């Protein structure tokens, strides 16, 4: 492969045509035609693979939060003013724009998720390739692609914010390499946009990148990065998305409601959602099935498939531990190596993102959301240039084999589940595939008109979107311990003022709380005034089950007859 003079100067690619004795530096895959073709191929292959998962769904209630919010916006409502959210607005308005341009359907939103996954693939590859061989960069990228999104292939604010996080890191690395102010502007813009899609992730990203550039500045070799023109470009990039957002919501008379929504998680979210580091979100029944049921061979395979969920949370800790070593490198003059600044910037970003996870909810799912960045650390462990100790270098092949085996074992049932035989459910937002029949959606569509207001309580926002119905209140869901008592009373007041004809009620919802939100305080479970009102004012007509095997009662007002 022919290399330009700049590539020769910066190349670290083992096996590439570089001068004899070249052992350090940062390889720039963007300057190689072969690498660009590989990146395009990775995007296409990963997109095709992820499209297998588009139509399959567990009817997870979380997926409906953004989708139903986007639907409300399409109908002319304004976020925060007309309906509640504690997320920043990016995901809602992004999906609303997708629906307006490409059509209002579930498949449009899911196709966008597959596109994001393909973009993760390319960004992870080109960042890993800078200090790793092509083989290892491809291996880690492929393993990331077949496990990250398929574990939770849903329309969530977590995935689009992760894409923006990945792009932010990429632009920051390009700014580090070129010192061009366009990369400073792009970095600032994407960091700000990340915060507008998920505030905690944006804060962690800003903290990590800021720390990284500070360490690099103390190294004294990258002073041109912080020239006045680049700082101005960075400041403009950070400012304009926030300015546009403030102007829009102020114009909709919703600025104070927006600010209250952004600050709401600081007081309410973390208490009920705080879990131990790497928490698995598994019920007692799931634990028994994995570890105690079946033959020893089946148990071994199940444990192997589960094993990545135990070691993936460890990966970012290596990135955190690397930072002090890199800082010490300033005194030892190791920072003179061209790849030193790259390692500093990526390690500090990983550290900042880990901080955002620990502060918000440190369960395995939130580590999976950031896997495109955390797997860069895995690539370094397997083949990082001038970063591995002798023990890690010797164990590299064994580590690579074990990692690949565990991730492939994890990926196989995910693929089989999505590609295997299904029950096809025809919803008002398009056909979806489920493992078992979802009689809740069938009941709603059989007896409730499109656009009708019904109450699905306490937590099943996805059913609103798929059935084309709406909540009678500002809330799509209610989670005890996170949502407040005042909000419960607000739901009750609106329901009493405008009684709906139909209620879908899950009487056993409290059973999920111990598994999903184990830190929920007992005082928040003592009574539920909305559930008490439903029991007094509504009669049960039929029972129904979701595709995730949750049990609901189909209820109508007591002054009406069952359909």
Q: Which residue, among 55, 56, 63, has the nearest Cα to 476 in the 3D structure?
A: 63
Per-residue b/e over 256-280, b at no fewer than 16 CB within 10 Å? Answer: ebbeebbebbeebbeebbbbeebbb
* pLDDT tens for each residue of 290-306: 777 778 888 888 889 99
Helix (H, G, I), strand (E, B) or coil at 456: strand
Helix (H, G, I), strand (E, B) or coil at 402: helix
pLDDT (0 to 100) of residue 334: 57
Q: For 360, phi and psi rounded to 5 degrees?
A: -90, -65
- Residues forming beta bridges with residue 46, ordered by sequence position: none
Q: Which residue, among 358, 404, 408, has the nearest Cα to 381 in the 3D structure?
A: 404
Task: List all residues 6 or more positions away from 527 whose beta carbon is below 8 Å from its beta carbon.
Answer: none
Q: Number of helices and strands (H, E) in the chain? A: 24, 6
HEC readout, 270-305 = HHHHCCCCCECCCCHHHHHHHHCCCCHHHHHHHHHH
Q: Which residue, among 509, 523, 451, 514, has the nearest Cα to 478 in the 3D structure?
A: 509
pLDDT (0 to 100) of residue 371: 97
Say if CB 33 and CB 48 are below 8 A apart: no
Q: Which residue, among 132, 15, 169, 19, has the nearest Cα to 7 in the 3D structure?
A: 19
pLDDT (0 to 100) of residue 332: 65
Say if CB 373 and CB 353 are below 8 A apart: yes
CA distances in angstroms from 108 to 53, 129, 431, 443, 502, listed in the order given: 13, 32, 12, 25, 29
Say if CB 261 and CB 84 are below 8 A apart: yes
CA distances in angstroms from 394 to 7, 130, 133, 281, 381, listed in the order given: 29, 22, 16, 35, 11
Cα dihedral 379, 193, 208, 28 in deg (nearest 10): 40
Per-residue b/e over 87-114, b at no fewer than 16 CB within 10 Å? Answer: bbbbbbbbbbebbeeeebbbbbbbbbbb
- Give the tokens for residue 165: 């996080």
User: In terms of residues, how long is the chain?
Assistant: 563
Q: What is the pTM of this model?
A: 0.92
Task: List all residues 6 or more positions away from 127 whose beta carbon is below 8 Å from its beta carbon.
Answer: 169, 170, 173, 346, 376
Cα–Cα distance between 23 and 129 in angstroms, integer? 15
pLDDT (0 to 100) of residue 331: 63
pLDDT (0 to 100) of residue 333: 62
* pLDDT tens for each residue of 477-532: 999 889 999 999 999 999 999 999 999 999 988 888 877 888 888 788 888 999 99
Q: Which residue, among 195, 191, 140, 192, has the nearest Cα to 169 in the 3D structure?
A: 191
pLDDT (0 to 100) of residue 299: 85
- Give the tokens for residue 558: 């007591």
- Residues forming beta bridges with residue 431, ordered by sequence position: 426
Question: H-type helices in 103-133, by residue range?
Answer: 106-129
Q: Which residues of the chain have pLDDT under 50?
A: 1-23
Say if CB 241 and CB 193 are below 8 A apart: yes
Q: What is the CA radius of gyration of the chain?
A: 25
Say if CB 17 and CB 4 are below 8 A apart: no
- Give the tokens for residue 9: 């100067």
* Residue carrying structure tokens 């693939």: 121
- Residues forming beta bridges with residue 453, ordered by sequence position: 470
* Residue carrying structure tokens 């399409």: 74
Secondary-structure percent of the chain, ordered helix, strand, coil, rounded to 5: 65, 10, 25
- Residues forming beta bridges with residue 463, ordered by sequence position: none
Give the E-state strand segments of 157-200 in sequence order: none
Say if CB 335 and CB 219 are below 8 A apart: yes
Burial of 536 (0-12, 13-18, 19+ CB in 10 A): exposed
CA distances in angstroms from 116 to 99, 155, 158, 264, listed in the order given: 16, 11, 11, 28
- Give the tokens for residue 445: 């569509």
Cα–Cα distance between 282 and 451 in angstroms, integer? 36
């Amino acid at each position: 492969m022919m290399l330009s003079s700049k590539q020769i100067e910066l190349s670290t690619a083992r096996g590439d045509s570089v001068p004899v004795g070249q052992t350090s530096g940062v390889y720039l895959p963007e300057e190689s035609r072969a690498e660009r073709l590989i990146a395009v191929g990775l995007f296409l292959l990963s997109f095709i693979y992820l499209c297998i998962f588009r139509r399959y769904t567990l009817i997870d209630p979380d997926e409906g939060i953004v989708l139903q919010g986007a639907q409300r916006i399409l109908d002319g409502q304004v976020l925060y003013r007309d309906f509640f959210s504690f997320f920043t607005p990016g995901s809602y308005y992004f999906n609303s724009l997708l629906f307006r341009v490409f059509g209002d359907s579930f498949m449009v939103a899911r196709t966008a998720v597959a596109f994001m996954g393909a973009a993760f693939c390319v960004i992870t590859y080109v960042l890993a390739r800078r200090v790793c061989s092509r083989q290892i960069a491809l291996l880690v990228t492929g393993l990331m692609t077949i496990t990250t999104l398929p574990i939770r292939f849903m329309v969530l604010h977590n995935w689009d914010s992760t894409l923006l996080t990945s792009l932010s890191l990429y632009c920051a690395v390009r700014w580090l390499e070129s010192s061009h102010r366009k990369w400073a502007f792009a970095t600032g813009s994407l960091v700000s946009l990340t915060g507008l899609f998920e505030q905690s992730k944006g804060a962690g990203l800003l903290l990590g990148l800021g720390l990284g550039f500070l360490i690099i500045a103390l190294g004294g070799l990258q002073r041109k990065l912080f020239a006045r023109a680049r700082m101005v470009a960075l400041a403009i990039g950070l400012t304009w998305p926030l300015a546009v957002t403030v102007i829009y919501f102020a114009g909709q008379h919703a600025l104070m409601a927006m600010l209250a929504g952004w600050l709401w998680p600081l007081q309410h979210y973390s208490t009920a959602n705080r879990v131990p580091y790497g928490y698995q979100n598994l019920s007692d029944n799931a634990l028994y099935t994995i570890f105690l049921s079946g033959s020893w061979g089946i148990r071994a395979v199940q444990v192997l498939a589960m094993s990545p969920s135990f070691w993936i949370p460890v990966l970012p800790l290596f990135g955190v531990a690397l930072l002090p070593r890199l800082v010490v490198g300033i005194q030892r003059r190791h920072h003179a190596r061209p790849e030193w600044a790259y390692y500093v910037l990526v390690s500090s970003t990983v550290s900042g993102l880990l901080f955002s996870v620990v502060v918000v909810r440190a369960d395995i799912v939130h580590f999976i959301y950031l896997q495109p960045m955390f797997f860069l650390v895995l690539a370094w462990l397997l083949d990082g240039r001038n970063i591995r100790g002798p023990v890690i270098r010797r164990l590299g092949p064994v580590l690579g084999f074990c990692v690949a085996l565990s991730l492939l074992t994890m990926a196989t049932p995910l693929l089989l589940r999505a590609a295997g035989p299904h029950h096809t459910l025809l919803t008002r937002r398009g056909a979806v595939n489920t493992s078992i029949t979802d009689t809740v959606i069938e009941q709603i569509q059989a007896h409730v008109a499109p656009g009708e207001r019904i109450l699905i309580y306490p937590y099943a926002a996805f059913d609103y979107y798929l059935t084309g119905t709406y909540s009678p209140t500002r809330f799509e869901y209610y989670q005890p311990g996170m949502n407040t008592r005042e909000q419960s009373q607000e739901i009750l007041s609106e329901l009493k003022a405008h009684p709906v004809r139909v209620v879908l009620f899950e009487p056993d919802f409290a059973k999920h709380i111990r598994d999903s939100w184990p830190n929920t305080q007992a005082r928040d479970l003592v009574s539920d005034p909305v559930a008490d009102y439903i029991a007094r004012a509504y009669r049960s007509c039929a029972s129904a089950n979701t595709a995730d095997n949750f049990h609901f009662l189909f209820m109508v007002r007591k002054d009406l007859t069952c359909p």
